[in-house]
Amino acid sequence: MAAVPPWDAFTAAEAEVRAMVADPRWQGISVPDRAHVLAARILVTPDGDRWLFGAHARWHLYDPADGRWHLAPPPRGTRARQVQHPAAVLPDEVLPRGPDFHAEPGSTQAFIGPDVSGDLTERLRVLLRASGRKSELDYPLTAFDEIFASDVPGTVAAVWGTIMWCAYAPAFDGNERLITVFGEYLRRPLPGDEWVRWLAAPPLLDLVTLVAERARAGRSRAALRLAAVMADTAQILMCDSRFRPRALALLTMVEPLLRRPGLDDALPDDEAVRAAWLSRCPVRLGRALLVETDPGRHFAHCVYDLAEALSFMPDPAKGTAMFLADLSDSRGLLPERLDHRLRMAYEELERAGRTGTSAAETTAPDGFSIPARPIGVSTAPAPALEVAPPDRASAAAVLGAAYATGLAWGRLTGAKVPERGLAGQSVIVRRLIHERDDHHEDGIGHS
C-alpha cells in the first residue's frame, strides 16, 4: 500500500481556495464577498505569521511592520491553524480574479546543466538559416544592432529577440548549441566567458520596433514576414517550459497581425504598437507580461521563485537573502520590497558588510584560472553561501531564479548585471558546469 503523505495545512488550504476559484460562480461574487471568504481561510503559524493563498495562485505573507501582504512561499510542513480575520485586512490586489489561477507554470531552470533539446535546436537552426538569407536592405537592423553585424538582416534579430524575450532566465552554457548557431552573425563576443553566457532579456519594444518600422516604411510584406518569424520561433520554443509562458503570450500578441495584416499600421509610434500588442494578451497570461507591465510586481514574483527554489534549505529566507545580497542597491530601495523575514535576514548581511556584492569573482569551475578583477570593480566580500541543491535540476532552478531576480532588479532600478554574472550564481555554476552539453533529458521542464 502506498504511503499517504502527511496532512499539511498549507496544502489543504491551497486546494480549498483553488476549488472555490475554479467554480464558475466565483466570477459572479462581489469583491467584498471574495475578501470575506478568503479572510476566513488565513493561516497562522506558531510564530504569529499570517498566510493567505490568493492572487496568481500564490501565497502571501502579512507584514506587521507595514501592513502589506508580500508574495512569499509558505513554510510547508509547519504547524498552522485557520483563524477568522476581518475581510478589511485584504487589499484587492491579493484577491484571485479567476483567470490568474490558470497561468502557465513554466520553469525557473537556467540553460546551464539541462540543455535545450536537440530537436528544438535543430528546428530553430533551420529557421535561422532561412532568415539569414534575407537582405539587410529589405530587413534593416532597427533593433539589436549592438549584438549583430551591420549586414545581418532583421529576420535574424527577430529569431534572437524572440528567444531572449521568451526565456525565463537567459543564462546559457557557453557552448549551448542554441547560442552557437548565431555565431557567424554576431558583432562581438557575447557577454560572459567560455563557461557561461550571461545574456540580457530585451524589452518587448525591441521586437515591436522591428515590425513597426517596416510598416511605417510602407513595407507591409516585410513587416508581416518579421511577425511570422517571431510567431514561428515562439511556436518552436513552446516545447520547453523555460520558454513556454512568454512564448504563448507572444503568440497571442503576434498572431492577430498574421490574420489581419496592417492591424497596427494606423498607430502613431512604436510605444502605441507595444501597448496594442500587450492589450491582445489574455488575462490568464498576465503574469508572463509583468516584466513589461509591472516591473515591481515582476521582481516580487522572481523573489518568490527564488525562495521556492531554495525550499530544500533549512532556512529558505536566509538563503534567498544571500542571493539578494548580490544586487546593487546604492539607494537602499531593496529592504522595503521584502517581507519581514527576508528583510531581517538581508539586514543582518547588510550589517556584516555583505550586501551589494554584484561583482562576481569568476564563472570558471574549480581547477581553472580566475580572471583578474577589472579596475574599479567593488571588492566587497561575497556572502558565505552554503547552498547545496540536492540534485542537478534543483541547482539549475536556483541558478535560473537567481539570475531572473537580478535581471528583474535591473529592469526595476536600472542596476546593471555584471557581464560575468553575480557572485552567488557563480557558486551554483560550479555545480553544473561539468555537466554541460550532456545528453540527460530528465529535469528539463521542471522547476
125 within a domain of the structure (yes/no): yes
| DSSP bridge partners of 82 | 43
Q: Enter the C-alpha cell of residue 389.
A: 541543491
**Same domain, yes or no: 236 and 253:** yes
Closest by CA to 110, choosing from 19, 2, 241, 212, is 241
| Residues 6 or more apart whose Cβ sits within 8 Å of residue 322 | 349, 383, 384, 385, 387, 424
**Same domain, yes or no: 425 and 288:** no
Dihedral-angle region of residue 367 (phi above 0 means left; psi in -120 to 50 means alpha; beta otherwise) = left
**Same domain, yes or no: 339 and 426:** yes
Measured distance CA(417)–CA(414) in Å, rounded? 9
395 within a domain of the structure (yes/no): yes
109 within a domain of the structure (yes/no): no
Stated as kind and residue range, the H or E segment containing 225 is: helix 220-237
Query: Reduced to 3 states, what is the DSSP secondary structure of residue 272?
Result: helix
**Same domain, yes or no: 205 and 299:** no
**Same domain, yes or no: 264 and 324:** no
Provide the b/e sequence for 243-261 (b: ≥16 CB within 10 Å).
Answer: bbbbbbbbbbbbbebeeee
**Same domain, yes or no: 127 and 265:** yes
Structural domain ending residue among the three candidates 236, 265, 292: 292
Measured distance CA(350)–CA(303) in Å, rounded? 18
Structural domain ending residue among the three candidates 67, 102, 137: 102
**Same domain, yes or no: 171 and 251:** yes
Stated as kind and residue range, the H or E segment containing 226 is: helix 220-237
| DSSP bridge partners of 62 | 69
| DSSP bridge partners of 173 | 196
pLDDT recorded at residue 88: 80
**Same domain, yes or no: 135 and 273:** yes
| CA distance to 73, 89, 97, 178, per residue, from 17 (Å) | 16, 18, 12, 40
441 within a domain of the structure (yes/no): no
Number of domains in the chain: 3
446 within a domain of the structure (yes/no): no
Looking at residue 424, its amino acid is G
**Same domain, yes or no: 213 and 307:** no
| Residues 6 or more apart whose Cβ sits within 8 Å of residue 23 | none
**Same domain, yes or no: 91 and 32:** yes
**Same domain, yes or no: 341 and 424:** yes
Q: Do the beta carbons of residue 55 and residue 71 sit within 8 Å? A: no
**Same domain, yes or no: 281 and 313:** no
pLDDT per residue rounded down to tens, the chain (447 residues): 455 456 789 999 999 999 999 999 998 999 999 999 999 999 999 999 999 999 999 999 999 988 999 999 999 889 999 887 888 889 999 999 999 998 888 999 999 988 899 999 999 999 999 999 999 999 999 999 999 999 999 999 999 999 999 999 999 998 889 999 999 999 999 998 888 999 999 999 999 999 999 999 999 999 999 999 999 999 999 999 999 999 999 999 999 999 999 999 999 999 999 999 999 999 999 999 999 999 999 999 999 999 999 999 999 999 999 999 999 998 899 999 999 999 999 999 999 988 876 543 333 443 333 333 333 333 444 444 578 899 999 999 999 999 999 999 999 999 888 888 888 888 888 888 776 544 444 333 333
What is the number of other CB atoms lying within 10 angstroms of the CB of residue 198? 28
- Count of alpha carbons within 13 Å of 252, Cβ hemisphere only? 16
144 within a domain of the structure (yes/no): yes
33 within a domain of the structure (yes/no): yes
pTM score of the predicted model: 0.90
Closest by CA to 371, choosing from 334, 418, 338, 339, is 418
Q: Enter the C-alpha cell of residue 375.
A: 579596475
Owning domain of residue 24: 9-102
339 within a domain of the structure (yes/no): yes
